Amino acid sequence: MGKPDRPRHQLWSFAYLAARRVLSLVLLVLRTSDSKEIEILVLRHELEILRRQQSRPPLDPVDRAWLAALSRLLAKDRWSAFGVRPETLLRWHRRLVARHWTYPCRPGRPPIGEDLVTLVVAMATDNPTWGYQRIRGELLGLGHRVAASTIARVLKAHGIKPAPRRSSPTWRQFLRQQAAGIVACDFFSVDTISLRRLYVLFFIHHGSRRVLLAGITTNPTWAWVTQVARNVTAELRDSGIDVKFLLRDRDAKFGPGFDAVWQGEGARIVRSPVRTPNANAICERWVRTVRSECTDRLLILNERHLRWVLDRYVRHYNEHRPHRGLAMQSPVPSPSEIPAMPATLTSIHRREVLGGLINEYHAA
Protein backbone atom coordinates (compact mmCIF):
# COMPACT_ATOMS: atom_id res chain seq x y z
CA MET A 1 0.00 0.00 0.00
CA GLY A 2 1.16 3.51 -0.72
CA LYS A 3 2.06 6.03 1.92
CA PRO A 4 -0.68 8.43 3.12
CA ASP A 5 -0.72 11.93 1.75
CA ARG A 6 1.59 13.98 4.03
CA PRO A 7 -0.26 17.37 3.74
CA ARG A 8 -3.59 15.70 4.55
CA HIS A 9 -2.00 13.85 7.48
CA GLN A 10 -0.58 17.12 8.84
CA LEU A 11 -4.00 18.77 8.47
CA TRP A 12 -5.67 16.07 10.57
CA SER A 13 -2.91 16.32 13.16
CA PHE A 14 -3.38 20.07 13.39
CA ALA A 15 -7.15 19.66 13.78
CA TYR A 16 -6.71 17.10 16.54
CA LEU A 17 -4.20 19.31 18.35
CA ALA A 18 -6.49 22.31 18.01
CA ALA A 19 -9.38 20.37 19.51
CA ARG A 20 -7.24 19.38 22.48
CA ARG A 21 -6.18 22.98 23.03
CA VAL A 22 -9.79 24.16 22.93
CA LEU A 23 -10.75 21.63 25.60
CA SER A 24 -7.78 22.74 27.70
CA LEU A 25 -8.93 26.36 27.44
CA VAL A 26 -12.43 25.36 28.59
CA LEU A 27 -10.98 23.62 31.63
CA LEU A 28 -8.86 26.69 32.40
CA VAL A 29 -11.94 28.90 32.37
CA LEU A 30 -13.64 26.68 34.96
CA ARG A 31 -10.63 26.69 37.30
CA THR A 32 -9.91 29.26 39.99
CA SER A 33 -7.33 31.98 39.42
CA ASP A 34 -5.02 30.74 42.21
CA SER A 35 -4.76 27.25 40.77
CA LYS A 36 -4.09 28.74 37.33
CA GLU A 37 -1.22 30.87 38.60
CA ILE A 38 0.34 27.93 40.43
CA GLU A 39 0.03 25.70 37.36
CA ILE A 40 1.62 28.40 35.17
CA LEU A 41 4.58 28.65 37.55
CA VAL A 42 5.00 24.86 37.47
CA LEU A 43 4.86 24.79 33.67
CA ARG A 44 7.42 27.62 33.38
CA HIS A 45 9.79 25.82 35.71
CA GLU A 46 9.44 22.58 33.77
CA LEU A 47 10.10 24.54 30.57
CA GLU A 48 13.32 25.94 32.01
CA ILE A 49 14.42 22.41 32.94
CA LEU A 50 13.77 21.21 29.40
CA ARG A 51 15.69 24.15 27.91
CA ARG A 52 18.72 23.29 30.00
CA GLN A 53 18.60 19.70 28.75
CA GLN A 54 18.09 20.57 25.06
CA SER A 55 18.98 24.01 23.76
CA ARG A 56 16.98 23.82 20.53
CA PRO A 57 14.12 21.29 20.42
CA PRO A 58 12.98 20.14 16.96
CA LEU A 59 9.65 21.59 15.78
CA ASP A 60 7.38 20.13 13.12
CA PRO A 61 5.14 22.29 10.88
CA VAL A 62 2.15 21.86 13.21
CA ASP A 63 4.15 23.22 16.17
CA ARG A 64 5.28 26.21 14.16
CA ALA A 65 1.74 26.95 13.00
CA TRP A 66 0.36 26.73 16.56
CA LEU A 67 3.04 29.00 18.04
CA ALA A 68 2.63 31.51 15.22
CA ALA A 69 -1.12 31.61 15.77
CA LEU A 70 -0.77 32.11 19.53
CA SER A 71 1.72 34.91 19.01
CA ARG A 72 -1.06 36.90 17.34
CA LEU A 73 -3.08 36.76 20.60
CA LEU A 74 -0.25 37.76 22.94
CA ALA A 75 1.37 41.18 23.27
CA LYS A 76 4.79 41.42 21.67
CA ASP A 77 6.48 42.49 24.91
CA ARG A 78 5.47 39.11 26.42
CA TRP A 79 6.84 36.96 23.57
CA SER A 80 9.74 35.97 25.81
CA ALA A 81 7.54 33.10 26.97
CA PHE A 82 8.09 31.39 23.62
CA GLY A 83 11.17 29.26 23.11
CA VAL A 84 12.11 31.02 19.87
CA ARG A 85 13.06 34.56 18.98
CA PRO A 86 10.39 37.12 17.99
CA GLU A 87 11.70 37.43 14.43
CA THR A 88 11.34 33.65 14.07
CA LEU A 89 7.66 33.88 15.01
CA LEU A 90 7.14 36.67 12.51
CA ARG A 91 8.86 34.63 9.78
CA TRP A 92 6.62 31.65 10.51
CA HIS A 93 3.57 33.84 10.31
CA ARG A 94 4.62 35.34 6.96
CA ARG A 95 5.17 31.83 5.65
CA LEU A 96 1.63 30.84 6.68
CA VAL A 97 0.17 33.89 4.94
CA ALA A 98 2.21 33.20 1.79
CA ARG A 99 1.03 29.59 1.65
CA HIS A 100 -2.57 30.73 2.09
CA TRP A 101 -2.40 33.07 -0.92
CA THR A 102 -0.30 30.83 -3.17
CA TYR A 103 -2.11 29.80 -6.34
CA PRO A 104 -1.27 26.67 -8.32
CA CYS A 105 1.34 27.20 -11.04
CA ARG A 106 -0.07 27.24 -14.54
CA PRO A 107 1.91 25.52 -17.30
CA GLY A 108 3.42 28.10 -19.65
CA ARG A 109 5.17 27.97 -22.98
CA PRO A 110 7.26 24.80 -23.33
CA PRO A 111 11.03 25.42 -23.22
CA ILE A 112 13.09 25.14 -26.38
CA GLY A 113 15.72 22.46 -26.82
CA GLU A 114 19.40 22.80 -26.01
CA ASP A 115 20.36 22.59 -29.70
CA LEU A 116 18.11 25.52 -30.51
CA VAL A 117 19.49 27.50 -27.56
CA THR A 118 23.01 26.91 -28.86
CA LEU A 119 21.95 28.06 -32.34
CA VAL A 120 20.38 31.27 -30.98
CA VAL A 121 23.49 32.10 -28.94
CA ALA A 122 25.76 31.39 -31.93
CA MET A 123 23.71 33.68 -34.20
CA ALA A 124 23.82 36.51 -31.68
CA THR A 125 27.55 36.07 -31.09
CA ASP A 126 28.51 35.84 -34.77
CA ASN A 127 26.27 38.77 -35.75
CA PRO A 128 26.52 41.56 -33.14
CA THR A 129 24.07 43.82 -35.05
CA TRP A 130 21.21 41.28 -35.15
CA GLY A 131 18.28 41.96 -32.86
CA TYR A 132 15.64 39.57 -31.55
CA GLN A 133 13.36 39.92 -34.57
CA ARG A 134 16.27 39.46 -36.98
CA ILE A 135 17.28 36.22 -35.27
CA ARG A 136 13.63 35.11 -35.19
CA GLY A 137 13.33 35.64 -38.94
CA GLU A 138 16.53 33.69 -39.58
CA LEU A 139 15.20 30.81 -37.47
CA LEU A 140 11.92 30.83 -39.40
CA GLY A 141 13.92 30.32 -42.58
CA LEU A 142 15.40 27.20 -40.95
CA GLY A 143 12.01 25.85 -39.90
CA HIS A 144 12.09 26.90 -36.22
CA ARG A 145 9.19 28.96 -34.85
CA VAL A 146 10.52 30.80 -31.80
CA ALA A 147 9.00 33.91 -30.23
CA ALA A 148 11.11 37.06 -29.93
CA SER A 149 10.52 37.08 -26.15
CA THR A 150 11.98 33.57 -25.93
CA ILE A 151 15.04 34.67 -27.88
CA ALA A 152 15.43 37.67 -25.56
CA ARG A 153 15.19 35.40 -22.50
CA VAL A 154 17.81 33.00 -23.90
CA LEU A 155 20.27 35.79 -24.70
CA LYS A 156 19.76 37.39 -21.28
CA ALA A 157 20.43 34.04 -19.57
CA HIS A 158 23.76 33.80 -21.46
CA GLY A 159 24.80 37.38 -20.65
CA ILE A 160 24.33 38.71 -24.21
CA LYS A 161 23.01 42.27 -24.37
CA PRO A 162 20.55 43.59 -27.00
CA ALA A 163 21.98 44.40 -30.41
CA PRO A 164 22.61 48.17 -30.05
CA ARG A 165 24.42 47.67 -26.73
CA ARG A 166 26.56 44.64 -27.53
CA SER A 167 30.32 44.94 -27.29
CA SER A 168 32.15 46.39 -30.27
CA PRO A 169 34.77 44.34 -32.16
CA THR A 170 37.98 43.82 -30.25
CA TRP A 171 41.33 45.12 -31.47
CA ARG A 172 42.26 41.61 -32.60
CA GLN A 173 39.07 41.25 -34.68
CA PHE A 174 39.47 44.73 -36.17
CA LEU A 175 43.09 44.13 -37.16
CA ARG A 176 42.33 40.76 -38.75
CA GLN A 177 39.38 42.05 -40.76
CA GLN A 178 41.23 45.11 -42.06
CA ALA A 179 44.75 43.65 -42.30
CA ALA A 180 45.03 44.13 -46.08
CA GLY A 181 44.51 47.88 -45.76
CA ILE A 182 46.40 48.60 -42.53
CA VAL A 183 49.90 50.02 -42.38
CA ALA A 184 51.41 50.58 -38.93
CA CYS A 185 54.40 52.70 -37.99
CA ASP A 186 56.57 53.26 -34.96
CA PHE A 187 59.96 54.44 -33.75
CA PHE A 188 62.69 52.48 -32.04
CA SER A 189 66.04 53.74 -30.85
CA VAL A 190 69.60 52.41 -31.18
CA ASP A 191 72.58 53.67 -29.18
CA THR A 192 75.91 53.82 -31.00
CA ILE A 193 79.28 52.88 -29.59
CA SER A 194 79.82 56.56 -28.70
CA LEU A 195 76.49 56.61 -26.75
CA ARG A 196 74.75 58.64 -29.42
CA ARG A 197 71.08 57.77 -29.78
CA LEU A 198 69.63 57.24 -33.27
CA TYR A 199 65.90 57.06 -33.98
CA VAL A 200 64.62 54.64 -36.63
CA LEU A 201 61.19 55.13 -38.23
CA PHE A 202 59.72 52.08 -39.94
CA PHE A 203 56.39 51.01 -41.45
CA ILE A 204 54.92 47.52 -41.65
CA HIS A 205 52.00 46.27 -43.76
CA HIS A 206 49.69 44.08 -41.68
CA GLY A 207 48.48 41.96 -44.57
CA SER A 208 51.87 40.87 -45.90
CA ARG A 209 54.07 41.76 -42.87
CA ARG A 210 56.38 43.61 -45.26
CA VAL A 211 58.66 46.11 -43.50
CA LEU A 212 59.65 49.46 -44.99
CA LEU A 213 62.64 51.22 -43.46
CA ALA A 214 61.61 54.87 -43.66
CA GLY A 215 64.53 56.79 -42.18
CA ILE A 216 67.15 57.22 -39.46
CA THR A 217 67.90 60.47 -37.67
CA THR A 218 69.17 61.89 -34.40
CA ASN A 219 66.47 64.58 -34.28
CA PRO A 220 63.04 63.45 -35.57
CA THR A 221 61.36 66.82 -36.18
CA TRP A 222 57.88 67.30 -37.60
CA ALA A 223 59.27 68.42 -40.95
CA TRP A 224 61.52 65.34 -41.21
CA VAL A 225 58.68 62.96 -40.30
CA THR A 226 56.36 64.62 -42.85
CA GLN A 227 58.92 64.25 -45.67
CA VAL A 228 59.46 60.60 -44.75
CA ALA A 229 55.69 60.04 -44.94
CA ARG A 230 55.63 61.42 -48.51
CA ASN A 231 58.40 59.03 -49.56
CA VAL A 232 56.70 56.02 -47.98
CA THR A 233 53.29 56.74 -49.53
CA ALA A 234 54.91 56.88 -52.97
CA GLU A 235 56.68 53.55 -52.38
CA LEU A 236 53.48 51.90 -51.17
CA ARG A 237 51.60 53.23 -54.18
CA ASP A 238 54.21 51.74 -56.51
CA SER A 239 53.93 48.40 -54.68
CA GLY A 240 50.15 48.27 -55.21
CA ILE A 241 49.27 48.53 -51.50
CA ASP A 242 46.07 50.50 -50.91
CA VAL A 243 46.29 51.98 -47.41
CA LYS A 244 42.93 52.45 -45.70
CA PHE A 245 44.15 52.80 -42.12
CA LEU A 246 47.40 54.06 -40.65
CA LEU A 247 47.93 52.73 -37.15
CA ARG A 248 50.27 54.70 -34.92
CA ASP A 249 50.74 55.53 -31.26
CA ARG A 250 50.35 58.96 -29.64
CA ASP A 251 54.02 59.90 -29.84
CA ALA A 252 54.56 63.66 -30.12
CA LYS A 253 57.01 63.04 -32.99
CA PHE A 254 54.06 62.54 -35.34
CA GLY A 255 53.00 66.07 -36.19
CA PRO A 256 49.91 67.39 -37.99
CA GLY A 257 51.72 67.35 -41.34
CA PHE A 258 52.39 63.61 -40.99
CA ASP A 259 48.68 62.86 -40.57
CA ALA A 260 47.77 65.24 -43.41
CA VAL A 261 49.95 63.31 -45.88
CA TRP A 262 48.16 60.04 -45.15
CA GLN A 263 44.74 61.63 -45.10
CA GLY A 264 45.50 63.06 -48.52
CA GLU A 265 46.05 59.48 -49.72
CA GLY A 266 42.58 58.52 -48.44
CA ALA A 267 43.82 56.76 -45.30
CA ARG A 268 42.24 57.08 -41.89
CA ILE A 269 44.50 57.71 -38.88
CA VAL A 270 43.92 55.22 -36.03
CA ARG A 271 45.75 56.09 -32.83
CA SER A 272 46.32 53.32 -30.33
CA PRO A 273 45.13 53.85 -26.72
CA VAL A 274 47.48 55.37 -24.17
CA ARG A 275 50.04 52.95 -22.70
CA THR A 276 48.63 50.01 -24.68
CA PRO A 277 51.45 48.49 -26.73
CA ASN A 278 49.34 45.44 -27.53
CA ALA A 279 47.16 47.64 -29.73
CA ASN A 280 50.16 48.00 -32.06
CA ALA A 281 51.44 44.49 -31.42
CA ILE A 282 52.82 43.80 -34.91
CA CYS A 283 55.15 46.79 -34.72
CA GLU A 284 56.18 45.92 -31.17
CA ARG A 285 56.90 42.35 -32.24
CA TRP A 286 59.09 43.50 -35.13
CA VAL A 287 61.06 45.81 -32.83
CA ARG A 288 61.76 42.87 -30.54
CA THR A 289 62.79 40.73 -33.52
CA VAL A 290 65.19 43.26 -35.01
CA ARG A 291 66.76 43.89 -31.62
CA SER A 292 67.23 40.23 -30.67
CA GLU A 293 68.46 39.14 -34.11
CA CYS A 294 70.43 42.17 -35.22
CA THR A 295 71.09 45.40 -33.34
CA ASP A 296 71.62 43.88 -29.87
CA ARG A 297 74.32 41.58 -31.33
CA LEU A 298 76.33 44.33 -33.04
CA LEU A 299 78.23 47.47 -32.05
CA ILE A 300 76.84 50.31 -34.15
CA LEU A 301 79.43 52.94 -35.11
CA ASN A 302 77.32 55.73 -36.56
CA GLU A 303 74.21 56.52 -38.57
CA ARG A 304 75.73 55.30 -41.84
CA HIS A 305 76.68 51.97 -40.28
CA LEU A 306 73.19 51.51 -38.79
CA ARG A 307 71.57 52.23 -42.16
CA TRP A 308 73.77 49.64 -43.87
CA VAL A 309 72.97 47.03 -41.20
CA LEU A 310 69.20 47.64 -41.21
CA ASP A 311 69.00 47.67 -45.03
CA ARG A 312 70.43 44.17 -45.17
CA TYR A 313 68.38 42.89 -42.28
CA VAL A 314 65.12 44.27 -43.71
CA ARG A 315 65.92 42.61 -47.03
CA HIS A 316 66.47 39.32 -45.21
CA TYR A 317 63.27 39.79 -43.21
CA ASN A 318 61.11 40.57 -46.26
CA GLU A 319 62.51 38.07 -48.74
CA HIS A 320 63.67 35.06 -46.75
CA ARG A 321 62.77 34.90 -43.06
CA PRO A 322 59.69 32.66 -42.47
CA HIS A 323 56.82 34.20 -40.53
CA ARG A 324 54.51 32.20 -38.30
CA GLY A 325 51.55 34.48 -39.06
CA LEU A 326 51.98 33.74 -42.80
CA ALA A 327 52.03 29.93 -42.54
CA MET A 328 55.86 29.98 -42.32
CA GLN A 329 56.19 31.99 -45.54
CA SER A 330 58.24 35.15 -45.97
CA PRO A 331 56.49 38.51 -46.45
CA VAL A 332 57.71 38.72 -50.07
CA PRO A 333 58.04 35.04 -51.10
CA SER A 334 59.96 34.07 -54.21
CA PRO A 335 58.25 31.05 -55.85
CA SER A 336 61.30 30.29 -57.98
CA GLU A 337 63.36 29.52 -54.88
CA ILE A 338 60.97 26.80 -53.62
CA PRO A 339 62.23 23.45 -55.03
CA ALA A 340 59.79 20.89 -56.38
CA MET A 341 61.61 18.13 -54.51
CA PRO A 342 63.17 18.32 -51.02
CA ALA A 343 66.78 19.44 -51.24
CA THR A 344 69.49 17.03 -50.20
CA LEU A 345 72.32 17.91 -47.87
CA THR A 346 74.80 18.30 -50.73
CA SER A 347 72.47 20.60 -52.72
CA ILE A 348 71.88 23.17 -49.96
CA HIS A 349 73.75 26.46 -50.25
CA ARG A 350 74.36 28.61 -47.18
CA ARG A 351 74.56 32.37 -47.63
CA GLU A 352 75.84 34.64 -44.89
CA VAL A 353 74.08 37.87 -44.00
CA LEU A 354 75.82 40.62 -42.02
CA GLY A 355 79.09 38.75 -41.92
CA GLY A 356 77.60 35.47 -40.70
CA LEU A 357 75.40 37.00 -38.00
CA ILE A 358 72.43 35.50 -39.88
CA ASN A 359 72.50 32.58 -42.31
CA GLU A 360 70.15 31.86 -45.21
CA TYR A 361 69.80 28.42 -46.77
CA HIS A 362 68.87 27.95 -50.44
CA ALA A 363 68.56 24.99 -52.72
CA ALA A 364 71.51 25.07 -55.10
Q: What is the pLDDT of residues 44-97, one digit of tens each?
A: 666 666 666 666 666 676 766 766 666 666 666 666 666 666 677 677 667 766
Find the helix or strand (DSSP H, E) in which 348 lies. strand 348-353
Q: For the domain bounded by 174-333, which CATH number is listed?
A: 3.30.420.10
pLDDT tens-digit readout, 232-252: 999 999 988 899 999 999 999
pLDDT at 185: 96
Q: Are 187 and 251 in contact (CB under 8 A)?
A: yes
pTM metric for this prediction: 0.54
pLDDT at 1: 44
Residue type, 100: H
Report, as ranges of residue numbers, the positions in the chain whose pLDDT lies below 70: 1-10, 27-59, 61, 63-64, 66-86, 89, 92-93, 96-97, 99-108, 164-176, 334-341, 343
Determine phi and psi for 63, rounding to 5 degrees.
-65, -45
What's the sign of the alpha-carbon dihedral 66, 69, 70, 71? positive
Domain spans, the chain: 8-57, 58-102, 114-165, 174-333, 334-364
106 three-state secondary structure: coil
Residue type, 329: Q
pLDDT at 52: 63
Tell how many helices (H) and how many strands (E) occur in the chain. Answer: 12, 7
